[in-house]
């Protein structure tokens, strides 16, 4: 492989997790280990049962991964890996992989793959714990029925007229209604009942709906499995199943729900976003993210896997909007790089995300070129807002001319922030230290990132100010082993799992990365790297990672519950909604975070 090819692979790997967590010298070495193969449309890469000796990474095109029975496991695009399940099971493929269009694939030899697994916890965690995700997403049979309920049940009392029930079904765009007294299920009525029992028989539509309902219908409990849904529907030839918990109606499962479930996976959403033809198409795709969040959390995925998969969709949407912008404006006149910061930059997006981004542009840009990029920024930012990634309240977006600049201006920004760390500089530096390339020429940023990390780490005054800034968000700990809840307003008596939960840990991770000159941007990866580099003690890293995992997973579970209830997800949870066990462990996690904040605060005093 020549130097140009190697540089191209390095630039590509810098945008792929977990390779983006590797030190630069290691990344350069790994890049030389990859080989490349091109596959024609419909060409089989390997079949289930074949020996495989490499990890596959999609560079271009699309790959479908199939179960031995032929069922689709996932559809993969650029930056997705496959084949690891075989490597982790004695080198025998457990699925079949086939190119669905012309594809270019990078191959990492098995020995190198295993070395990375053994040497870097980020690789071990990503591949051994997280990469069966797509298969589990598609496996409905082992999921609990309660996790598959799409929304709260819609019901009417038995005395409701047939006409009113039909009108409600029309307005709600549903094919079935539960008939209940209070929360007690008495029957169900379907659109087919209205056709066969009302219209066909000439029945008066003002009669009560209980005249045509199916009484005491077959039902399942929330603890039954998805396989029970399939078996019951197939055996009894029914398309609607109430879900009842101790006589109380809690949901309704329909054949449409099952179809919708199989249509929502991160791979499918990424595939659809990558080929979307308009902003409206992209918005329809991102509207499915809350359901994906619910599915991922319900299948007990680790929080860093859930947020990574959700962020992958935002990345793909952003790249597609960049492509649509270039299709409208013409090719970019000079090299550029679109970067995300905030939760997208850290690959930590949940069901609640705004947009934080910027544009770095080659220094050769002329004033007319800058006008081109201003138009590009507006197209992409407006598109992101239409897709649910709302405008940043602080205007940290590429549409702000301050954040759409040539590289020489960006270098000057970082130098000024480091050497004159006033409060505004600290805030801006905190945001910009979470930058991650999304689309364009990634190498524009790599040299700047290394330069800035070194410059910042060597400035003790800047580090001390950054530490002070990071301590502004504190865990919600009250007296007598209680929580300090919000005292007034819309979210009274709740705790903010974002600003007082995950953000304090995010801030700590950023400080550790700064002190240790660690290139990782993801918070958990930063904590792992800080422990490995000796920035914090091994025990401190372990405790903080476990605390962060608990806080982040509590936040995701809370958001998933809101989605399941048909509500918009948010970050505010009432302690009373948690069990005694959950409250106790969550408080212990907050205590760990406060302890680590105190330790870094003492280090600040030593630096001042």
Beta bridge partners of 54: 109
The answer as to CATH 2.60.120.10 being correct for domain 1-131 is yes
For the domain made up of 145-261, the CATH class stated in words is alpha beta
Q: What is the mean pLDDT of residues 276-302?
A: 88
Q: What percent of the chain lies above the pLDDT cut of 70?
A: 91
pLDDT at 135 over 50: no
The answer as to CATH 3.30.565 being correct for domain 459-607 is no
Q: Which phi and psi (to 5°) does residue 100 adopt?
A: -90, -10
Q: Which 3 state secondary structure label does DSSP give 106?
A: strand
Per-residue pLDDT reduced to its tens digit, 256-283: 777 666 556 676 787 788 888 999 999 9
Per-residue pLDDT reduced to its tens digit, 522-547: 999 999 999 999 999 999 999 999 99
Calpha distance 232→243 (Å, rounded): 13
What pLDDT, on a 0 to 100 scale, did the predictor assign at position 470? 84
For the chain, the domains span 1-131, 145-261, 264-444, 459-607
Per-residue pLDDT reduced to its tens digit, 178-212: 999 988 999 999 988 898 899 988 999 999 999 99
Per-residue pLDDT reduced to its tens digit, 570-606: 999 999 999 888 889 999 999 999 999 999 887 655 5
Q: What is the mean pLDDT of residues 137-152?
A: 70
Calpha distance 389→357 (Å, rounded): 11
Same fold, 145-261 and 459-607: no
Burial 446-483 (b: 16+ CB within 10 A, else e): bebbeebbebbbebeebbbbbbbbbbebebbbeeeeeb
pLDDT at 417 over 80: yes
Kindly indicate the confidence band of residue 130, based on its pLDDT and cuts at 50, 70 and 90.
very low
Cis peptide before 18 (omega within 30 of 0): yes
pLDDT at 1 over 90: no
What pLDDT, on a 0 to 100 scale, did the predictor assign at position 327? 94
**CA atoms within a 13 Å half-sphere pointing along the CA-CB vector of 55:** 25
Q: What is the mean pLDDT of residues 349-373?
A: 94
Cβ-based burial of 50 (10 A; exposed 0-12, middle 13-18, buried ≥19): middle
Contacts of 495 (CB under 8 A, 6+ apart): 476, 483, 484, 485, 486, 501, 572, 573, 574, 575
pLDDT at 486 over 50: yes
CB atoms within 10 A of CB 414: 21
pLDDT at 101 over 80: no
Of 458, 360, 464, 456, give the one whose Cα is nearest residue 408: 360
User: According to DSSP H, which parts of 187-288 are helical?
Assistant: 191-193, 226-236, 255-263, 266-274, 279-286
What pLDDT, on a 0 to 100 scale, did the predictor assign at position 481? 67
Q: What is the mean pLDDT of residues 156-167?
A: 93
Q: Which CATH number fits domain 264-444: 3.40.50.10800, 3.30.460.10, 3.30.1600.10, 3.40.1080.10?
A: 3.30.460.10
pLDDT at 167 over 70: yes
- For residues 285 and 271, the answer to whether their CB atoms sit within 8 Å is no
């Amino acid at each position: 492989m020549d130097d140009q090819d190697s540089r191209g692979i390095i630039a590509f790997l810098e945008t792929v997790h977990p390779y983006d967590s590797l030190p630069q010298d290691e990344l350069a070495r790994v890049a030389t280990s990859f080989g490349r193969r091109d596959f024609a449309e419909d060409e089989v890469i390997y079949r289930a049962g074949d020996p495989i000796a490499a990890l596959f990474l999609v560079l271009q095109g699309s790959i479908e991964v199939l179960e031995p029975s032929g069922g689709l496991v996932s559809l993969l695009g650029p930056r997705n890996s496959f084949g690891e399940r075989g490597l982790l099971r004695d080198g025998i493929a457990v699925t079949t992989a086939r190119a669905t269009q012309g594809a270019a694939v990078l191959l990492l030899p098995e020995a190198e793959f295993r070395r990375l697994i053994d040497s870097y916890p980020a690789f071990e965690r990503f591949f051994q714990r997280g990469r069966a995700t797509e298969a589990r997403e598609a496996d409905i049979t082992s999921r609990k029925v309660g996790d598959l309920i799409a929304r709260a049940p819609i019901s009417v009392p038995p005395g409701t007229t047939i006409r009113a029930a039909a009108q409600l079904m029309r307005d709600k765009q549903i094919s079935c209604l539960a008939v209940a007294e209070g929360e007690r299920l008495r029957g169900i009525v379907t659109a087919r009942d209205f056709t066969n029992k009302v219209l066909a028989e000439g029945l008066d539509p003002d009669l009560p709906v209980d005249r045509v309902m199916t009484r005491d219908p077959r039902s399942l409990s929330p603890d039954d499995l998805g396989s029970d849904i399939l078996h019951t529907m197939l055996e009894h030839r029914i398309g609607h199943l109430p879900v009842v918990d101790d006589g109380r109606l809690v949901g309704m499962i329909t054949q449409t729900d099952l179809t919708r479930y199989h249509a929502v996976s991160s791979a499918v959403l990424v595939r659809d976003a990558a080929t979307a033809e308009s902003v409206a198409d992209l918005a329809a795709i991102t509207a499915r993210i809350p359901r994906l969040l619910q599915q991922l959390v319900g299948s007990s995925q680790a929080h860093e896997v859930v947020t990574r998969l959700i962020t992958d969709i935002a990345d793909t949407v952003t790249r597609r909007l960049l492509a649509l912008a270039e299709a409208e404006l013409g090719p970019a006149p000079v090299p550029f790089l679109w970067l995300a910061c905030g939760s997208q930059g850290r690959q930590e997006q949940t069901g609640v995300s705004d947009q934080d981004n910027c544009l770095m542009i080659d220094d050769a840009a002329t004033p007319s070129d800058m006008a081109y990029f201003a138009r590009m920024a507006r197209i992409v930012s407006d598109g992101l807002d239409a897709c649910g990634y709302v405008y940043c309240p602080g205007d940290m977006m590429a549409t702000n001319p301050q954040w759409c600049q040539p590289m020489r201006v960006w270098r000057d920004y970082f130098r000024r922030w480091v050497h004159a760390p006033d409060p505004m500089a600290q805030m801006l530096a905190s945001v910009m230290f979470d930058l991650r390339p999304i689309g364009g020429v990634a190498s524009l940023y790599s040299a700047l990132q290394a330069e800035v990390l070194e410059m910042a780490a060597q400035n003790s005054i800047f580090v001390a100010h950054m530490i002070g800034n990071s301590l502004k968000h504190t865990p919600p700990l009250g007296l007598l082993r209680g929580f300090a809840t919000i005292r007034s307003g819309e979210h009274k008596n709740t705790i903010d799992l974002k600003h007082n939960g995950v953000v304090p840990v995010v801030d700590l991770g950023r400080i550790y990365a700064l002190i240790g000159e660690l290139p990782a941007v993801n918070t958990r990866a930063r904590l792992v790297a800080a422990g490995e580099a000796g920035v914090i003690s091994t025990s401190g890293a372990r405790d903080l990672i476990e605390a962060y995992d608990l806080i982040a997973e509590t936040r995701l579970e809370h958001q998933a519950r809101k989605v399941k209830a048909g509500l918009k997800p948010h970050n505010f949870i009432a302690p009373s909604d948690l069990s005694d066990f959950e409250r106790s462990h969550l408080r212990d996690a907050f205590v760990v975070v406060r302890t680590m904040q105190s330790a870094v605060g003492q280090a600040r005093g030593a630096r001042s």
